[in-house]
Amino acid sequence: MEYIEYFEEIKKHQSCRDFTDQPVGADELKQLQEYFHRCRRLIPELKLEMLVYNATAADKIGRAAGYNGFLIGAPNYLLLFSETGDHWLENAGFVGEALTLKLTQMGIDSCWMTINDGKAIRDNLVPDLEKELGVLIAFGYKAKEEKLARLDIKSPSNVKMHKRTGPYAAPKIELSDLLYNKKWGKPVDVDLIYRDLKEPLLALGVSQSFFNRQPYRVILDDDIISLIAIPDEMTSEQDIKLGQGIAMFNFEAVLAAHRPTDTKWHFEAPDRDLGLPEDAEFVAWCAI
């Protein structure tokens, strides 16, 4: 079982919206399937099924996925179906992120597609499957060389181009804005965070999200971090939970590189006062 340097892949990853026609080869798809069966899960009890399609699936997906019904044309699509149950969407996002990073490691580009009508997609592609569609990712090889300018999507009517300054893809929330110290609203001195913890936090802070909205914050304590959801009217309940799963994967996978034993996320609230405002919602905590 090969080792993935998740932090390196997370820094490398950026969404691709312009693919060549070249389909991903059978060897790589086999590696992806193998990785899918053994990659970490948030809720291991929930059974998942990963199906990979070629470009012709786009006709069957139609406007049921993509921003404003605009599905990115790609030589391959990855669909992750899941049993439903508590936190099934967070789990699907978590595993979807693992798969995205495996693709990145293999030099394959990808882009998450928001699912506007999962039932329609399932009925058109696999009507007999008794699982719900959780994740849809377009993937293949990027058509153009990476440009320095990046897309900053605040909303469909507010899209700006930014010059890339750091190693990361789209502009992301700064650690100083993401983190609170023990209680909501209390600032963290980012310079004092030791490297073993800073890398997992940076990985969480550059997570992909619907329209790059990143509707969450993190409360840092001596022994745990808590992921907190903040309201975001633009993002659907489904994409909010997928985004939380992505953020949780990035943190857990990078932390694991610095810890002898794996730490896991827990969904029950910790026994302490986080001082949350009314519109913020506790999501999960993870021992550090």
Ligand X SMILES: Cc1cc2nc3c(=O)[nH]c(=O)nc-3n(C[C@H](O)[C@H](O)[C@H](O)COP(=O)(O)O)c2cc1C
Q: Does 17 bind ligand X (CB under 6 A)?
A: yes
Q: Does 203 bind ligand X (CB under 6 A)?
A: no
Which residue shows structure tokens 């053994």?
Answer: 38
Q: Does 205 bind ligand X (CB under 6 A)?
A: no
Q: Which is nearer to ligand X, 17 or 258 (CB)?
A: 17
Of 153, 171, 168, 172, whose CA–CA distance to 67 is shortest? 153
DSSP 236-262: -HHHHHHHHHHHHHHHHHHHHTT-SS-
Which residue has the closest beta carbon to ligand X?
Answer: 208
For the chain, the helix, strand and coil percentages under 3-state DSSP, each to the nearest 5:
35, 25, 45
For residue 11, the minimal CB distance to ligand X (Å) is 10
# residues contacting ligand X (CB under 6 A): 22
Q: Does 208 bind ligand X (CB under 6 A)?
A: yes
Options 101, 111, 229, 288; binder of ligand X; rule CB under 6 A? 111
For residue 6, the minimal CB distance to ligand X (Å) is 15
For residue 8, the minimal CB distance to ligand X (Å) is 15
> Which residues make beta-bridge pairs with 119?
none
Q: Which is nearer to ligand X, 51 or 153 (CB)?
A: 153
Long-range contacts of 142-146 (CB under 8 A, 24+ apart): 142/16, 142/18, 142/19, 142/20, 142/109, 143/18, 143/19, 143/20, 144/18, 146/14
Q: Which is nearer to ligand X, 43 or 74 (CB)?
A: 74
CA distances for 214 relative to 88, 196, 230, 288, angstroms = 20, 23, 9, 22
Listed in sequence order, the residues at least 6 apart from 137 whose beta carbon sits closer than 8 Å to its beta carbon are: 77, 78, 80, 96, 99, 100, 103, 110, 111, 112, 113
How far is 288 from 224, CA to CA, in rounded Å?
Answer: 5
x/- binding map, residues 134-173, to ligand X, per CB under 6 A?
-------------------x---------------xx---
Interface positions, 247-276, toward ligand X (CB under 6 A)? none
For residue 158, the minimal CB distance to ligand X (Å) is 13
For residue 153, the minimal CB distance to ligand X (Å) is 5
Options 242, 247, 254, 286; binder of ligand X; rule CB under 6 A? 242
> Which residues make beta-bridge pairs with 179?
218
For residue 246, the minimal CB distance to ligand X (Å) is 6
Q: Does 82 bind ligand X (CB under 6 A)?
A: no
Q: Does 175 bind ligand X (CB under 6 A)?
A: no
Taking each helix axis from N to C end, the angle separating 237-256 and 195-205, rounded to the nearest 10 degrees, works out to 160
Q: Which is nearer to ligand X, 204 or 288 (CB)?
A: 204
> Which residues make beta-bridge pairs with 219?
180, 226
Q: Which is nearer to ligand X, 228 or 242 (CB)?
A: 242
Query: Are the C-beta atoms of residues 24 and 139 closer than 8 Å to each other?
Result: yes
Options 82, 104, 212, 244; binder of ligand X; rule CB under 6 A? 212
Residues that bind ligand X (CB under 6 A): 14-15, 17, 66-67, 72, 111-114, 153, 169-170, 208-212, 239, 242-243, 246
